[in-house]
Structure 1
């Protein structure tokens, strides 16, 4: 018996009964089974990487660039030229996140109901138009209104990207792919800094520097919309860039995620389950804490560097290493999390790095001789913060089953992130400049709370895995199930059966993978720690 199971480690028989509903529209499709090797799985993955991943990377780069240029504009006189007073700049920085916070309940519904190929081009074009509106804004009210609209149309971006990643990739592949598009936080910092530096030399025209920045990024974003409609596909089952056989493989290779089948039906029971789960609110807490800390660099980073005593152009250029370090931290953290198949320890470690950075910025006096180097070192530890979010997002998608529940979980997560981005800029009020000691002190406490919640969530998942083992025994299944979705190579057996009894139990495993059920309902689901 064990010999027959070992054969499945090299060739996986694709059972089409669970995927037929997604593939019946594919020309030439018929029920049956198709042999699939690790090499064939890798072939499909490489094709997905060439078509889908670049689109995610480019659009996420635009999203970060579009909403971060407001910080660069502030360094080059936007507050003066738009006659902003008091905390009006902070309010503008928060306005987009108010829109995101309010839209999230609707976002969860829209992401499930509207095909990706229509939804993404629409929201990208719309936020590009909002950016062009910012370019035409010369006063507080106009800037506030356009920043609100920008946030509204960007609201679905992160949950939509996470859903797309979990639809196309196995759980073991997701952290690296999330890192690839989320790493554009660093790419946008680098390109945005260079772009702002170049535009700063424009003098004597009818447009201010900040208006030129908004116009350039807005036009590029608007042009991207139609390109997305041309290149993007809704799901592996309908991918135009795959052959008929490869579409079947593409669906099969992600079944081990136990995330449920592709569905455009919004299941209200699954939505309620997500709302009542303590896990949801622990994730929301982490999103809140992490994005409270992100305000240090997102909105006030250039101003904090400016407070070290640098002039406008050097301030912008000194933000370039920050972007490079973001890319390094994100790549390193996601590679480690993928290799060791554990996310909580990586998140906690990165949080400690952020605590050290905020402590240095808080404790070192600005007036102290030779303080610039240590202050910059402390500031350059903050890119570790941006390596936490991609691991968190992949943690949410990996540990949530069911299309509706995953969409709702991501919407709640983004609500926490939006709330953090709303409150974060308000921690750094104008009367704290240039040191912003009060805001930095608050951020130190927030990071400490984040480390504690991360440990608590890991403990909760360990307990939930133990309960799953007891449930499987009760249902006549093996207690221990190998989580193939976390394997680098495709095709390992789910159960290492050594006896006839274990082999009989093994035949009961795997039937839930194609069902649109939640992780709570699926006794074969394994939570990632």
Structure 2
């Protein structure tokens, strides 16, 4: 009965969110500009400064030309597969709160009305965590420490949910474990921004995001299979599987950090061989606009708008 009620509630949520998507799409199409160069909410000077920020991070300003060699390069790039594995793992593991969150809350001994009420702070926590994660990564300039910190908190929450008995005396620990799962949402956004910061070339970036969507869809389809109604109310089997998924994701993040460090070392060697400075300071994350050419060699940045991939551009600096 609980599964049937959950299915009906999810169906209503999909209908409402789907309707919102349809209603808001024309407004977004009308008001959201396609690119920095045509952004109406920026002044002419601000548009030029925004373009210079794009020059600084070397990811390009966009093009409408499809380049097949960039598609091939994406499929030959090891870091893209690690990013896809991260995406699959985070969406796969996130089903513990996406799909089965209300059932887990109900297993603590609450009725459906209290369960709904307790999900309200969970939603507020999600929004807060996404903002904090964005702020933290901007301040640190690194993606991986914030991501690993959130994964550690998620794993702590899963261990609490797995280990604590379902009775009233352990309710504070159970609720703490459940609310720690909200860090899922900060992780998803952070992985997207990490992908975009480390992929250059418009075709390569678009292909990478197609792979991201495929991994997301796969995780969303497979994730609910980790849980079985027969395991109610503790759902130990599903929680154990989800813990394994997030532990594997933590390891993948470490592998990606090591991979990106190696790629940066190779980039340094290429720049030295090409007669350029070994190290390039990235001004794209500065709080105020800085012309990157003032602190770097005057020729640095000339290739930024040539739609080169991160492998083709020896000035590209990988972010970890």
TM-score, structure 1 as length reference:
0.57
Checking the alignment, whether the CA contact within 8 Å between 1:483 and 1:494 is kept in structure 2 is: no
Quote the residue 2:51 is aligned against: 251
> 1:164-313 counterparts in 2 under 5 A?
210=12, 216-313=16-113
Post-superposition CA distance 1:213-266 (Å, at most 9, x none): 666545444322222232121112223344555444443332222112421111
Output the aligned Cα RMSD.
2.4
How far apart are residue 407 of structure 1 and its match?
Answer: 1.0
Tell me how many residue pairs correspond in the alignment: 320
Partner of 1:343: 143
**C-alpha distance in structure 2 between counterparts of 1:526 and 1:279, whole Å:** 14
Query: Relative to structure 1, is the Cα distance of residues 78 and 439 closer, same or farther in structure 2, using a 3 angstrom cutoff?
Result: closer
Structure 2 Cα separation of the partners of residues 238 and 452 of structure 1: 41
Residue 439 (structure 1) aligns with: 238
**Distance verdict in 2 for CA 1:226–1:328, change over 3 Å:** closer
**Equivalent residue runs for 1:357-376 within 5 Å:** 357-366=157-166, 368-376=167-175
Change (3 A) 1:244 1:369: closer
CA apart distance, 1:369: 4.6
Structure 1 residues 327 and 225: CA distance shift in structure 2, 3 A:
closer
Q: Distance in 1 between matches of 2:294 and 2:246?
A: 40
Contact 2:71 2:204 in 1 (8 A): yes
Asked whether the equivalents of residues 271 and 277 of structure 2 are also in contact (C-alpha less than 8 Å), the reply is yes
Residues 400 and 519, structure 1, Cα contact 8 Å, conserved in 2: yes
Relative to structure 1, is the Cα distance of residues 215 and 462 closer, same or farther in structure 2, using a 3 angstrom cutoff?
A: closer
1:95-141 Cα shifts (integer Å, max 9, x gaps): xxxxxxxxxxxxxxxxxxxxxxxxxxxxxxxxxxxxxxx6xxxxxxx
Deviation at 1:283, TM superposition (A): 0.6
Residue of structure 1 equivalent to 2:180: 381
Higher RCO (CA 8 Å, separation ≥ 6 residues): 2
**Which one has a bigger Cα radius of gyration?**
1
1:291-323, Cα deviation, whole Å (9 max, x unpaired): 121101101101111121211111111111111
* 1:313–1:331 CA distance, 2 compared to 1 (3 A): same
Counterpart residue number, 2:132? 332
Q: Which residue number in structure 2 is paired with residue 202 of structure 1?
A: none
Q: Which runs of 5+ in 2 are unaligned?
A: none
Which residue, 295, 303, 315 being the options, matches 1:512?
303
Match of 1:19 in 2: none
- The answer as to whether partners of 2:147 and 2:190 remain within 8 angstroms in 1 is yes
Q: Give the distance between the partners of 1:327 and 1:481, measured in 2 at CA.
A: 35
Mapped to 1, the partners of 2:146 and 2:110 lie a distance apart of 34
Do residues 426 (structure 1) and 229 (structure 2) align?
Answer: no
Looking at structure 2, the residues matched to 468 and 334 of structure 1 have their Cα atoms a distance apart, in angstroms, of: 27
SS at match of 1:486: coil
1:456 aligns with 2:255: yes
Deviation at 1:466, TM superposition (A): 0.9
- TM-aligned CA distance change 1:397 to 1:323, over 3 Å: same
| C-alpha separation in 1, matches of 2:134 and 2:230 | 38
CA distance in 2, matches of 1:452, 1:405: 25
1:355–1:444 Cα contact (<8 Å) kept: yes
The gaps in structure 1 that reach 5 residues or longer are: 1-73, 83-88, 94-133, 135-209, 498-505
State the SS of the aligned residue for 2:132. helix
Aligned to 1:522: 313
CA offset at residue 75 of structure 1? 7.6
Deviations 1:174-216 (A, max 9, x none): xxxxxxxxxxxxxxxxxxxxxxxxxxxxxxxxxxxx4xx6665
